[in-house]
Amino acid sequence: MKVKLFLKVADSTVHGKHPLLTKQEKMGYLWSKEPPPPEQMMETGWCEINWGTIQNNEMKKNLRKLQLKNPAVEHLRILVIGPVRAGKSSFIQSVKSMFKNRMVNAACTVAAGGCTRYTKKFTTNQFEDERGNILPFVISDVMGLGDSGVHPKDIISALKGHLKEGYTFNPVRPCSEEDTGYNSSPTLNDKVHCLVFVIPLDNFTANNSYADERTPHQGLIKTMQDIQHKACDLRIPQVVILTKVDLACPHVKEDIKHVYRSQTIRQKAQACSDVLEIPISDIFLVKNYHEEKQLNPDMDAVLLFTLRDILNYANDFVENINKPEGAGD
Ligand SMILES: Nc1nc2c(ncn2[C@@H]2O[C@H](COP(=O)(O)OP(=O)(O)O)[C@@H](O)[C@H]2O)c(=O)[nH]1
Ligand SMILES: [Mg+2]
């Protein structure tokens, strides 16, 4: 079954959709353990990144000085969600390191090897530049999705700004109005302005009970779709970050500059776009700092490219929040 599925996907065109596959099969392909087809790189990338330290510095300066489009907002709030070990905390750490211009210690936030330092509390991260200036956005981190993970209702509460900082997640009981961790009168600052699904491109390994042979990852897909629909109702913009791109393509592992040229990654991004119904233009590729000892300008460029669009979407959201539906979109 898996081999058949793999061949069907490998046969399809790079840019085409995969009409023969169900949503579950597509997500199965995304996390397939099958070896990738012999890698072919596309002539031109499907996103153009401006490489170089000068360009990075310019982008960083623009993000530092980003004008918030709603005077009631002190910072833009991004929420990252996704399965355990997707790279959510690593993404946050990578952004911290990039703006600080040096590696930031990740020991307390990122799940190392066999250890289970998973995020259990609702945690909001601020960012500083190398001079200690606070940047105009925050990223909130939650416990991973999936079995024994965050309750989906807690994600909805977080979107609406109902979770207080430090709220401890309980997978079997979502936060309710009686809880001390419940914020009953959230301001626009507490609400989420852009929702980011973080999905890893490597294989899910043991202990993920949603890896059902017949309906791979069905529970997780359903949860993500439900959250996505709710975010749409709230008109919150959404993007996907596909992490661990280095594990999906050997050329990308060798040189991150190839990231938007890899056919394997493009096919996986298309499968993800089809499943979550998020346009391919809102699917970003990221390699987090995870084993590096020093910053790499090309990795920074990919992170900045991603972050710039997320912050622009968040800024558009706060600008349009009080406008009637349809206006300003
Ligand atoms: N190869 C690779 N490993 C990564 C990447 N991002 C994160 N990791 C590793 O994946 C593991 C889980 O990451 P973590 O950020 O704790 O995931 P979280 O549970 O979603 O917060 C850690 O061991 C990270 O070092 C990446 O882009 N590439
Ligand atoms: Mg984490």
Q: What is the pTM of this model?
A: 0.87
* Mean pLDDT for the stretch of residues 110-129: 75
* Mean pLDDT for the stretch of residues 118-142: 94
Inter-helix orientation angle 263-276/23-30, to 10°: 140
Q: Which of 33-37, 175-179, 199-203, 307-311 has the lowest mean pLDDT?
A: 33-37
Nearest Cα residue to 242 out of 284, 303, 281: 284
Give the CA distances from residue 1 to residues 110, 170, 214, in Å, rounded to whole numbers and listed in that order.
35, 37, 9
The residue ranking higher by pLDDT, 19 or 318, is 318
* Mean pLDDT for the stretch of residues 298-314: 98
Q: Chain-wide mean pLDDT for the chain?
A: 85
d(CA 47, CA 283): 10
Nearest Cα residue to 260 out of 42, 86, 27, 14: 42
Sheet holding 194-200, edge to edge: 123-128, 134-141, 76-81, 194-200, 238-243, 283-285
User: What are the φ and ψ backbone dihedral angles of 121, each rounded to 5 degrees?
Assistant: -115, 155
CB 266 within 8 A of CB 14: yes
Minimum CA distance residue for ligand 1 atom 1: 244
Most confident of 6-15, 42-51, 153-162: 153-162
Q: What is the pLDDT of residues 37-70, one digit of tens each?
A: 566 789 889 999 999 999 999 999 999 999 999 9
Ligand 2 centroid distance, CA of 194 (Å): 18
Domains annotated on the chain, with CATH:
2-320 (3.40.50.300)
Ligand 2 centroid distance, CA of 111 (Å): 6
CB 239 within 8 A of CB 283: yes
Residues near ion ligand 2 (CB < 5 Å) are 88-89, 119
